[in-house]
Amino acid sequence: MGKRIENIKVYTEEGRFVPGAVITEGAFIRRIAVGESGGKVMPSGSGAAEIIDGGGCYCIPGMIDIHLHGCRGQDFCDGTRRALETITAWEASAGVTAIAPAVMTLPVRKLESVLAVAAAYRREQQEGKTLPGADLAGINMEGPFISPAKKGAQDARYAVPCDAGLYRRFQEAAGGLIRFVGIAPEESRDAEAFIREVKEEAVVALAHTNADYDTAMAAFRAGAGHAVHLYNAMSPCTHREPGVVGAVADSSHVTAEMICDGVHIHPAVVRAAMKMLGTGRVCFVSDSMRATGLSDGRYTLGGLEVAVRGNRAELVSDGALAGSVTSLPDCVRKAVSEMSIPLETAIACATVNPAKSLGQWALRGSLSPGKLADLVLWDGDLALRAVMKSGEWLAPIRPIRP
User: Which CATH code is given to the segment(s) 63-358?
Assistant: 3.20.20.140
Reported as a single tens digit per residue, the pLDDT across 360-373 is 999 999 999 999 99
CATH 2.30.40.10 domain range(s) in the chain: 2-61+366-393
Model confidence over 53-88: pLDDT tens digits? Answer: 999 999 999 999 999 999 999 999 999 999 999 999
DSSP assignment string, 248-312: HHT-TT-EEEEE-SSSSS-HHHHHHHHHHH-TTSEEEE--B-TTTTS-SEEEEETTEEEEEETTE
Q: How confident is the model at residue 42 (pLDDT cuts 50, 70, 90)?
A: very low
State the CB neighbour count (10 A cutoff) for residue 173: 20
Helix (H), strand (E) at residue 9: strand 2-11
Over range 45-52, report the average pLDDT. 72
Predicted confidence (pLDDT) per residue in 160-194, tens digit: 999 999 999 999 999 999 999 999 999 999 999 99
Residues 322, 315: contact at Cβ < 8 Å? yes
pLDDT at 162: 98
Q: For residue 261, indicate whether it is catalytic.
A: no
Mean pLDDT of the chain: 94
Contact by Cβ (8 Å): 95, 387: yes
Helices 191-198, 164-173: axis angle to 10 degrees equals 40
CA-based diameter of the chain, in Å?
Answer: 64
d(CA 120, CA 79): 11
78, 261, 287, 374: the active-site residue? 287
The CATH number of 2-61+366-393 is 2.30.40.10
pLDDT at 396: 57
Q: What is the pLDDT of residue 398?
A: 60
Residue 40 clears pLDDT 50, i.e. is over it: no
Cβ contact 262:338 at 8 Å = yes
Minimal CA–CA distance to 73: which of 61, 62, 64, 82?
Answer: 82
Buried b (16+ CB within 10 A) or exposed e, 195-229: bebbeeebbbbbbbbbbbbebbbbbbebbbbbbbb
Residues of the chain with CATH 3.20.20.140: 63-358
- Return the H-helix or E-strand segment holding 121: helix 108-126
**How far is the C-alpha of 84 from the C-alpha of 89, rounded, in Å?**
8
